[in-house]
Structure 1
């Protein structure tokens, strides 16, 4: 993933500065003294000096995953980690004037994209689940550049911080049977927490199912419970959810794109609320 981020940064600069005929090298190396002595042309270098999790964007909850048409199962997945990649951008040329000119062009190109554009992304970067923010020349980054240059044993020169936040996903999808009818009971208990002693006041249920046509889940189909005002629409997997409803008998109505509405009698609870158009 980080290697594809390097390729994306290079691609963005080549297209935006622009750079033609290889007149400028773009590298991602540690800028040591020996390294800089071997340079033969003007060079933009992005040294990745730190990678750490972004705690501000951390999310621990689960998210629904696409079951790829397997609508008899519920699929979930943990949220990916958000990671900050810290680069030190430097410019190398024979003359200071050329360095400053190249540094300005690079900064102008990167400032134009506080969010990396999807059309410029390469490799695994194309599958990022979130926008990819990029922050250039932040005042709270590289606060003591002299220490960095001392550590890599090279002469000090202008160094610009560049931070890109990636999503890294180490998780796999997990599945389980779909819950068709969760029931919510409310009441009063004389001596909590003993549930058997509760005097029941009401019992309501949520129902869910899949709308299909020719065995294929249907997206964007309106589904309602006749005479109740409950109305919803199927999601990308053809699923719908309605409630909360008192236990009893009802009529489900689904409106296909063409033709008459399909009515299905149901009794809550029951094993399935699927609708075939």
Structure 2
């Protein structure tokens, strides 16, 4: 699912900030060696953090039904994860980088959720909305300066892009088909032990009253 969200983010950026043929949208770690090899305008969406959104966690299994409303299987609810991307622009001049980063911000701001056309096929059937935030201050436990230090690079203007996506949980529990034939009604006399071997009594519909 993570790589499918990568492609969804690429489509959004391609749709506004960096159209096809004008540069690259990549997901590589922006290290010094990587930066030295850049020779074309690039937007880099580096996935630096993955963690569960525990506030969205649900308990218990839920039923999946067919077109007739019959339960066909039960599965655990999906778990939601926050994918955090460090979005940076790379060109030959800082002015061009700022222009490219501004275009990315303008492209992402209108979307509170991933556009439906970019949602991975595996999630379209559930019709789940995939939240998207941009430039929201990260949690205190995630310092962007620390990330740049870990990458061995110099601090650079960036946008923090967070996409919260459901992730399917296995296993899936198949449900036995409903009983449609051979059902028997067993009627017990009052006070009779239910565990005793009592023969089923056939229920007949009689005509006329008092029969």
TM-score by length of 2: 0.76
More strand by share: 1
2:102 alignment counterpart:
104
CA contact (8 A) 1:74 1:178 kept: no
Q: Distance in 2 between matches of 1:55 and 1:176?
A: 33
C-alpha contact 2:61 2:77 (8 A) present in aligned 1: yes
User: Could you say what secondary structure the match of 1:99 adopts?
Assistant: helix
1:69-124 deviation line (CA, Å, top 9, x unaligned): 694x6532211111111111111111111011000100111111111111123454
How many positions carry a matched residue from both structures? 179
- 2:184 matched residue in structure 1: none
Structure 1 residues 179 and 13, CA, compared in 2 at 3 Å: closer, same or farther?
A: same
**Cα distance, 1:17 vs. partner?**
3.0
More relative contact order in 1 or in 2 (CA 8 Å, sep 6+)?
Answer: 2
User: Does 1:88 find its partner at 2:86?
Assistant: yes
2: distance between equivalents of 1:123 and 1:76?
21
Q: Answer whether contact 1:67 1:75 (CA < 8 A) is retained.
A: no
Match of 1:33 in 2: 32
Q: Which runs of 5+ in 1 are unaligned?
A: 181-277
Distance 1:122 1:70, change over 3 A: closer
Partner SS state of residue 75, structure 1: strand
1:82-231 map, 5 Å: 82-127=80-125, 129-141=127-139, 144-171=143-170, 172-176=172-176
Contact 2:82 2:164 in 1 (8 A): yes
Judge which range, 110-119 or 73-82, deviates more.
73-82
Find the counterpart in structure 1 of residue 197 from structure 2: none
Aligned residue in 2 for 1:7 = 7
Higher helix share: 2
Mapped contact 2:17–2:100 kept (Cα < 8 A)? no
Where 2:146 maps in the other structure, the secondary structure is helix
Instruction: Please report the RMSD computed on the Cα atoms of aligned residues, expressed in angstroms.
Output: 2.5
Distance 1:97 1:52, change over 3 A: same
- The answer for the alignment partner of 1:266 in structure 2 is none
**Residue 141 of structure 1 contacts residue 161 of structure 1 at CA under 8 Å; is this kept in 2?**
no
Aligned counterpart, 1:63? 62
Secondary structure of the equivalent of 1:108? helix
In the alignment, the residues of structure 2 paired with residue 67 and residue 51 of structure 1 have an alpha-carbon distance, to the nearest angstrom, of: 34
Between 122-131 and 165-174, the greater mean CA deviation after superposition: 122-131
CA gap of 1:101–1:125, structure 2 versus 1, over 3 A, is farther
Structure 2 gaps of 5+ residues are 181-211
TM-score computed with the length of structure 1 as normaliser? 0.59
Alpha-carbon contact 1:132-1:165 (below 8 Å) kept: yes
Could you say what secondary structure the match of 1:50 adopts? strand
Change beyond 3 A, Cα 1:45–1:154:
same
